[in-house]
Structure formats: structure tokens, C-alpha cells
Amino acid sequence: MKAEAAQLKIYDSLAGGKRNFIPLKEGFVGFYVCGPTVYSNVHLGNCRTFISFDMVYRYLRHLGYKVRYVRNITDVGHLVDDADQGEDKIAKKARLEQLEPMEIVQQYSIDFHTVMAQFNAISPNIEPTATGHMIEQIEMIQGIIDNGFGYKSNGSVYFDVEKYNETHPYGELSGRKIEDLISNTRSLDGQDEKRNPLDFALWKNAAPEHIMKWPSPWGIGFPGWHLECSAMSTKYLGEEFDIHGGGMDLKFPHHECEIAQGTACNGKSPVKYWMHGNMLTLNGQKMSKSTGNSILPDELFTGKNQFMEKAFSPMVVRFFMMQAHYRSTLDFTSEALVAAEKGHDKLMEAMKTLQELNTGSESTIDVPGLVAQFYKAMSDDFNAPVLVAQLFEAVKFINGVRDGKQTVSKEDLELLQSGMHNFVVEILGLATTADGGDDKLAPVMDLVLDLRQQARTNKDWDTSDKIRDGLAAAGIVVKDSKEGSSWS
């Protein structure tokens, strides 16, 4: 554990407030995040959740915890709607595109991983799939039945919510009362298999024409969506683990059902800290695949979309997200992205400057105190926006030292360098500009700038400006300073 870190506090959705984080086993953290259903390209809203929890994972790791990070991939069982005729999302897509379901899964899993890599998200330690854990799911269903909380009906198995509620509070996570849920339940067709409309499927009987199905003690079928997370989190993290994350929209019913399933099967509530990331909005409305109000990461990176006036790089988007707290909604607009881009560039420029500073006998600001503020911000429920504000305090100082208006001691400089690296690169996950790679361009630019400098020395402003304007047209910005010209 980092000695300089303040006590980590996490907002626990179940408790409804911040709690000191104390892991079940000292030094270790079990961390589960609900992953995507791979039936289409991940959109930016999906990405925000995963990026938020990537930041959480990075900070936990930085604090010295050994984290086992599990994020599932849902590749079966997620129905288009809740009616019994509801079609599996993967199967539907497969039918429409005349592909094997696993082709769909493969295609969109690859897309998901590609996008996450672009956002510089660290891969989970384990990324289990629902189809790869049929046996575990079947065993868990059996456990729930054995404990009297599941019942068979027409080849399907349902979770008996009313029975469960007699001894455990169903709805505690989302703040619902079972009576309200019952009175608000809409009457859907084909609910006759269930004893109660609130009951949810653990196993669904598959019709003969159904293409994704497995044998089970209750007949040929497939698992209910909520079950996979319970089965896989139990398998890899235990019956009780530290942190479970996911989007706010999964709170009910998905996470509520996970609590019920885990409790019904194992006799204990599975999760110590429930974390929920908030939604990304576009034009003030929740980004959602089903409504079409969404934008794909690639459309954002290429600028080929109807919402934004220009393209934005993955790191700018990530930085933008880090400027908002993960529990707040964040509205995506072109104007906000442009502002974030400038801020991002300023921060990254300072990161470079930081490597070239001269040291003095003493520092003009309290550098250890500033770095302590970094920890304070992040330890307060991962308050990245406050961290970013502190980072800009550092930027101001860095530029001040560069301009000779401030001084920094050698010791403090090293502290600041490591602190900035830790928080900007390791924790916020902002990759320092990947301007390597273009090996041929650098020497060419050196030559061009050298020629321009000659022109400037000769006061041949026509030539020097022509070079500058020409480069600008090519997207290269030239910056002059006392030490010479640079480009980016």
C-alpha cells in the first residue's frame, strides 16, 4: 500500500454512500465488471463504462493491490425482450445476417477488443464467456433449485422472486419494494410459465428451431442472462468478492438478480461494494443502441458522423471522460470535445516539458503537497475531475519553471516527474503522444525547420511564413520559442 495515499473511499450503490474500502483479503481485490453483449459494435456509451472501470482498476493497481479483474463477454442468453418469445440477441443477429452465432460473437468481440485497445484500456485478467461456462451455470441453477428458490416449468427454470423476498429484500440495490414492482409489472404475452411476472429465467427451454441450445437436466435450452455473471464471478472470485462494477442501467434488474441468485445459491450476498457508472448522453439523451441515438468510436475517430464537426483521437475522448466523474452523466457535444482536445494537448505538452526542466536549489511551491492532492482526489471515490484540476496546477508550475519564473529542486522535480507519470499515464491511462513511428518525417522536419530558421535569420519573412503556412495546411503546427522552433 502506498504510504502517501489517503484511505480509499468508494461509493457503494447498495449502501447509498461512500464507504472506506477494506478488501476481504488484505492486499487483494476481486473485481468484476459486466462486459458487453457482442451482437453489434460497441458504441461510445458502452465504452465510457469500461473506460471508467479501467481507471478504477488502474488506481487500485497503483495503490499496490493485487487485483483479479474479471470482465465477461455475453455471447448467449441475452434476450431482445422479456417475453417468452423473446429472441436471443446473438441468435437474431445471426439469423438476419445468415451467419453462425459464433461468427457474430467473434466479429464483435474483435471489434470490442480493438476499440478498447484504442482507448488504451488494460485487458482484464480473465474475460470469460457465457457459452464457455454452461456447466457452471447449470450447477448454479441446480443449487438455487435445491435451496428452494427456483422452480421448473415447461422445460424452463425460473427464479422464485416472491419466495426469495420472504427472507431477503429483493430490490434493495435499486431501492424498490416488491409490492411496487408487482403493481407496476406490465402484462407481457407468454408469461404463463411463470408463477409471478417478477420471476426471471434461470434456464429457458429452446424450441426445436432455436440455434443456440445446450442439454441440461431440464431439457434442451439456454441459460438466462442474469445467471452468467453470477456463475462466472463465483467461479473466479468466490462466493463473496470485493467490487462489482457496471453501467447504471444494469442496476435493475440485472444486478438485483445477481444478488438474489448469489444469495439463493450460496447463502451470502456476493458483493461488498457495488459500483455503477453513469450514462453518456448525446444531445441530452441517453446513448442507446435501440434508439439509434448513438455514435461508434470509429465514427468519432474518423470524424465520419453527423454529430461532431471534426474527428477526435481516442486519447482526447478518454481525457474528456476523465474530466467528468464516473457517477455523473456526461453529455457529448462537439464544442465540449474541442475544449477537451485543447486541454489534453496542453497537459501532454507539459508532460514533455517536465522532462527538460532545470533544477534549482529550492522549489517555489509545495511539490509533495501537490502530489498528495493527486492521491486525495483519486482516493475520494475516484474523483478524476478533481485530479485533472490538480494536474493543471502542476502544468502551471511546470511552465513557470520552464520560463524561469518558478524554480524546482532536484528532489522535487523527480517527485513531480514520477507523480505526473503515475497519474497521467498509469492511472488516467493517457498515453504520451505516440509521435514515434514516423521515422522518416522527423529528419525531414528538421531540415525544413532549419531552412525556415535560415530565412528568419535573413529576415526573409515571405519564405519563413510560406513554410509555416504550408506546414499548417498539412496539419503540422510550428511553434517558435527562444530555444528554436518545434512542430507537432
Restricted to residues 139-178, the positions that interact with RNA (CB under 7 A) are 174-176
DSSP E strand stretches across 160-279:
200-205, 221-223, 241-247, 271-277
206/287 with CB nearer RNA = 287
175/303 with CB nearer RNA = 175
441/477 with CB nearer RNA = 477
Query: Contact 97/203 with Cβ under 8 angstroms?
Result: no
Q: Which helix (H) or strand (E) holds 215?
A: none
Q: Which of residues 15-34 bind RNA (CB under 7 A)?
A: 34
Q: Report the distance separating Cα 239 and Cα 269, nearest Å.
A: 8
Q: Which of residues 252-311 bind RNA (CB under 7 A)?
A: 252-254, 277, 279-281, 284-290
23/54 with CB nearer RNA = 54
Query: Contact 74/130 with Cβ under 8 angstroms?
Result: yes
Strand order in the sheet with 285-286: 285-286, 280-282, 330-332
Q: How far is the CB of 27 from RNA (least distance, A)?
A: 28
- From 92-100, 329-337, 416-424, 438-446, span contacting RNA (CB under 7 A): 329-337
Q: Which of 25, 66, 310, 405 binds RNA (CB under 7 A)?
A: 405
Query: Contact 115/317 with Cβ under 8 angstroms?
Result: no
- From 264-272, 331-339, 410-418, 422-430, span contacting RNA (CB under 7 A): 331-339
Binding mask 48-67 for RNA (x = CB under 7 A): xx------------------
Q: Which of residues 375-404 bind RNA (CB under 7 A)?
A: 383, 385-386, 388-389, 392-393, 395-396, 399-400, 402-403
Q: How far is the CB of 317 from RNA (least distance, A)?
A: 12
- From 56-64, 203-211, 322-330, 425-433, span contacting RNA (CB under 7 A): 322-330
Q: How far is the CB of 73 from RNA (least distance, A)?
A: 10
Q: Report the distance separating Cα 305 and Cα 317, nearest Å.
A: 15
DSSP E strand stretches across 289-364:
330-332
Q: How is residue 208 written as a grid cell?
A: 426445436
Least Cα distance to 248 among 53, 448, 73 occurs for: 53
> If DSSP codes are grouped into helix, strand and coil, which group holds residue 252?
helix
If one asks whether residue 185 binds RNA (CB under 7 A), the answer comes out as: yes
Query: Contact 119/297 with Cβ under 8 angstroms?
Result: yes
Q: How far is the CB of 204 from RNA (least distance, A)?
A: 12
Q: How far is the CB of 26 from RNA (least distance, A)?
A: 28
Q: How far is the CB of 25 from RNA (least distance, A)?
A: 26
Q: Which of 68, 213, 251, 318 binds RNA (CB under 7 A)?
A: 251
Least Cα distance to 354 among 411, 311, 294, 401 occurs for: 401
Q: What is the DSSP letter of 176?
A: -
Q: Which of residues 339-378 bind RNA (CB under 7 A)?
A: 339-340, 342-343, 346, 349
Q: Report the distance separating Cα 131 and Cα 90, nearest Å.
A: 12
Q: Which of residues 446-485 bind RNA (CB under 7 A)?
A: 456, 461, 464-465, 468, 477-481
Q: How many CB atoms lie within 10 A of CB 187?
A: 6
Binding mask 69-98 for RNA (x = CB under 7 A): ---------xxxxx------x---------
Q: Which helix (H) or strand (E) holds 11?
A: strand 9-12
In 238-288, alpha helices (H):
256-266
Q: Report the distance separating Cα 343 and Cα 332, nearest Å.
A: 16
Q: How far is the CB of 175 from RNA (least distance, A)?
A: 4
Dihedral, 466, 470, 476, 480 alpha carbons, nearest 10? 0
113/147 with CB nearer RNA = 113
Q: How many residues bind RNA (CB under 7 A)?
A: 84
Binding mask 220-249 for RNA (x = CB under 7 A): -----x--------------------xxxx
Q: What is the DSSP letter of 380?
A: B
- From 118-126, 140-148, 181-189, 426-434, span contacting RNA (CB under 7 A): 181-189
